[in-house]
Amino acid sequence: MIDAVVGMGHTVTAGAMTTMGAGVVMLACQMIFFVKMAKLIVMVILFSLVYALGFFLPLCALVGPERGMGDIGWIPTWMRHKCLSPAVPVTPREDDLESVGGNREGNVENEANAERCSNEGEKEENSR
């Protein structure tokens, strides 16, 4: 938590102050629209700053990600593996087919997923 406050706290606070400063300057305008917009800007920035530094940061310190917990960097690799690996047709047992009224052609869902993923892969290659 200390690293987050030291590393990003100054930046977040400085950004909030400059934005609120622009809103405060707009409060002196005579047009009602600009005064209302200034109040909106100042209040949104104030609430977001209080939320970010007063609620979210302590919440992350209490129950936040530690030692890889909450890491989502594995998702693109998993998606690539899921879409690019060949679909293995699964042939259900005859008992299962009769109970659900299926056919003996194999698992249609795996074939549909393989076709969908291959179409997405072709679209991605064509876009490059």
Quote the DSSP letter at residue 27.
Answer: T
pLDDT in tens, the chain (128 residues): 677 778 888 888 999 999 999 999 999 999 999 999 999 999 999 999 999 888 888 888 777 767 766 677 778 888 887 777 766 665 656 655 555 554 545 444 555 555 665 665 555 555 55
| pTM as predicted | 0.49
Residue appearing with tokens 């917990």 = 69
CB 8 within 8 A of CB 57: no
Domain boundaries, the chain: 2-63, 80-127
Distance separating alpha carbons of residues 55 and 113, to the nearest angstrom: 43
